Chain A
Amino acid sequence: MLEIKDVSKSFSKTLFQNISFTIEQGQRLSIMGPSGSGKTTLLRCICGLDSFDSGSINLDGVNIQETPTEKRGIGLIFQKPVLYHHLDVSGNIKLGNKNANVKEILELIQLPGYENRRVDELSGGEAQRLALGRSIVAEPRFLLLDEPFSSLDETLRKKLLQDTIELLEQRKIGSILVTHNHEEAQLFSENSILLGY
């Protein structure tokens, strides 16, 4: 269980104040809000890339404020997929987990046979699928998605979102999606939080 309790952060101006919510293992949640409302920063606070001013974040009842990012068991997918150009597709997957079954995961993210492709040859959708697959093989308990599909066109976006939901359910990974798209939020989860309104 991931528990966000009264978390506040200001950065020259108040970004968000007293945010509280909990999310169970395997559950999904969307956070909505206009740009500049601190959605991304909230995610970065949760996974430990940024610090916050007050409140606490607990994982299974343990305060993880001092736990470094890499030990929290929380994954993050950036808005623009971060791929490593010095490695091919399977190399990127193996960064997530050295022992990952690349063939299987590529089939799961619907990129079969892409093992030896160079990552700079991938399309936007393919790149984000790869980032997703790579995050999943790292076996996080919670996965944070920071508007990962915003740069894709609508049909592709929907398809990818659906596939992502399927994957998350299959692996019982809890997840938070940050988006400014109402429809996307509804599709992703029953519950959503509004920021900055």
Chain B
Amino acid sequence: MKSRQFHLIHFFSIGSFILLILLPLFLGMKRILFASEGWSFSYIHSFQTHNLTSGVLWFTFLQATLSTLLTIIIGLPLAWILARYHWKKAPLMRAILTMPFVTPTIVAAMGFLAIIGRGGLNLIGNEDYRFMALILAHAWFNIALIIRFVEPVISRVHPSMEEQLRFLQMGRTPYQRIRCFWIPILWPSILSGAILTFTFSFTSFAMIRWITPGNLSLESFMAIHSSGVGIPGYLVEINQLILAAFLLQLTILVIGLGAIGILQKKLSSVIPLVDEKYEKPKPQKIRLILYPALLFVVTPLISVIVGSFRIQDRTKRGTYFWGLDGWKRAINGSYAHTDIIDATMQSLVYASMTVIIAVPLGLLITKSLIELEKRSNHKARIAETFLMLPFCISAVMIGLGILIGFMKWQPDLMSHWWIPVLPHIIIATPFVIRIFLSTYRSIDGELIEHAKTLGLANWALFWNIEWHYIRPPLIVASLFCAAISLGEFGASWMLARDGSFDTLSVLIDQIMSKPGFDPLTYPTAMAVATVLMIITLSFFTIAEKWRDEHNGGGF
């Protein structure tokens, strides 16, 4: 009876989360299909030819592909030197290089805008430079992915593997060693990192919205036109275009997720998992590669801070002065219905709610997955894949699902302030699961079994044994969840514009949307961005501390 009960809980936790992901998508799809007056493949064609959307698919693909290539070009050497050399402050360097990935995308956008924009390099008037800045921003954001995927693989290559190669005919030249060894060893991890980079660049919203406003991607098209969809008999054509965009993006992302699933198996098989200790050389000249990279990582962040103090002097052409006026305006000023204090509080409320719900939910799901693995590895793998769906379904798609799937059926929901918590939970929970899964998989099964022979069961077992192991990842997961919720932009932008509950990231967007006649508008937005950046990165820093000591987390 007891085991049966357990079974139900596991089933329920996994099932309810999958339902939470799929239900809005399903209901949204149903409604948009209705408003589009049915499905036809001709919508895809219209999407390519309609004057609102022609070029959107091409632009999305082009920028995502170039972003991915650049990310690999920058990330690979970094992964290499981090893995091959002995760095005294390796954890710190890894943390700095990972920082962009947890930086809120709107802050990243502000950073690059500050670099190329007014008072920066002044390249903003040229579309080509803007496009390059977008690619660079995406690479900046995603290098951590390449490093986190590739570095462990390179680290696991024992020197004897390379030495042995030199005695073999096919390993006598560096070219042969690259072709016969390094490429086969590294491609699955590089490709996994590349696919995720492609996915994130493909679905990037805040950065495209602010760095290249002249171009729409599938994601920004869906976001910007979301308000008009799902109303039967109204804007039928827009509904059809959004439906086409949604399905195109879904197809591409699902293919990406599938590919990563397949690669995951390959990843573990290319190189033995045994970690043998060996001495790594000290970096000498190679430092010259790392230092510019660290500079590249911190420049946009510093530019945001600098931008908050730099004010245009409109009376003298091309001059600026330094001042606290932007900050004064941000803190005391009257510039939006939500001020920085309210927005910070609201952001923190959303973040705490996300943590309170997503962390226990993620823990429960992880335990269920582990249980399921014991019963049927196959089923566990399928469940895991579904649980990772939010990794590839974009924030705007989740937002769109909730908007059309729930709110357009039930308009009363529009005015409920807690709605944005929903996408935050959907987006954050898979990260929690990832973090806990790697912990649980590393707990020695015998430990648990031994504890059971000592008569510990269920709660006692949990408190006395498991709790000890999951405390560090619990902290890491909570901080990560909070950081994700704080930085989330796409879904919040669509759902949380109820001005009484703006988050910091939406507030930045709102200030930037105003006409810039007032020279304080820009520094004010930068000041708010600085606040958001500092809160998020301090969460991340604390999380990194816990992760280093206990190695708790896949991200």
Contacts and interface: CB of A to CB of B under 8 A. Distances in A.
Interface string B164-181: 111111111100000011
Interface in A38-64: 47, 49
Given A85-B272, A86-B185, A120-B269, A78 B171 contact: no
B184 A87 contact: yes
Nearest to A71: B172
A137 B158 CA distance: 23
Given A69-B166, A78-B160, A86 B171 contact: no
Contacts of B271: 85-86
A76 interface: yes
Contact of A70 (B158, B166, B185): B166
Contacts of B269: 85-86, 118, 120
A84 B272 CA distance: 9
Q: Determine the main DSSP class of B at the interface with A.
A: helix
B164 A76 contact: yes
Q: Which of the four size classes fits the interface of chain A? A: 20 to 34
B171 A95 contact: yes
Interface of A: 47, 49, 68-71, 74-76, 78, 80, 82, 84-87, 94-98, 118, 120, 131, 134-135, 137-140
B170 A98 contact: yes
B167 A97 contact: no
Given A76-B164, A78-B160, A85 B270 contact: yes
B270 A86 contact: yes
Nearest to A74: B167
B425 to A, nearest CB: 39
B185 A97 contact: no
B167 A94 contact: no
A88 to B, nearest CB: 11
B163 interface: yes
Interface string B493-508: 0000000000000000
A131 B164 CA distance: 10
A47 B272 CA distance: 26
15 contacts: A49-B163, A68-B166, A69-B166, A70-B171, A78-B160, A82-B158, A82-B160, A82-B163, A85-B271, A86-B184, A86-B185, A86-B270, A95-B180, A96-B168, A96-B170
Nearest to A134: B168
Contacts of A135: 167-168
A168 B292 CA distance: 53
Nearest to A76: B167
A69 B185 CA distance: 23
B161 interface: yes
8 closest cross-chain pairs (CB), A and B: A82-B164, A70-B172, A86-B184, A86-B270, A95-B170, A70-B166, A69-B166, A96-B168
A95 B160 contact: no
Interface string B209-229: 000000000000000000000
Contacts of A134: 168
Nearest to B163: A49
Contacts of A49: 163, 166
Nearest to A78: B160
A137 B167 CA distance: 11
A98 B172 CA distance: 12
A70 B272 contact: no
Nearest to B268: A85
B265 to A, nearest CB: 13
Which of A49, A84, A96, A139 has the most chain B CB atoms inside 10 A of its CB? Answer: A84
B167 A75 contact: yes
A97 B158 CA distance: 22
B161 A138 contact: no
Interface in B156-208: 158, 160-161, 163-173, 180-181, 184-185
Nearest to B186: A86
Contact of B167 (A70, A80, A118): A70
A84 B181 contact: yes
Nearest to B164: A82
A74 B164 CA distance: 11
B182 to A, nearest CB: 10
A81 to B, nearest CB: 9
A138 B164 contact: no
A97 B181 contact: no
Contacts of A71: 172
Contacts of A69: 163, 166-167
Contacts of B172: 70-71
B422 to A, nearest CB: 43
Contact of B161 (A82, A97, A98): A82
B525 to A, nearest CB: 50
Interface in B131-178: 158, 160-161, 163-173
B272 A94 contact: no
Contacts of A86: 184-185, 269-271
A132 B444 CA distance: 36
Interface in B289-305: none
Contact of B164 (A78, A120, A139): A78
Contacts of A139: 169
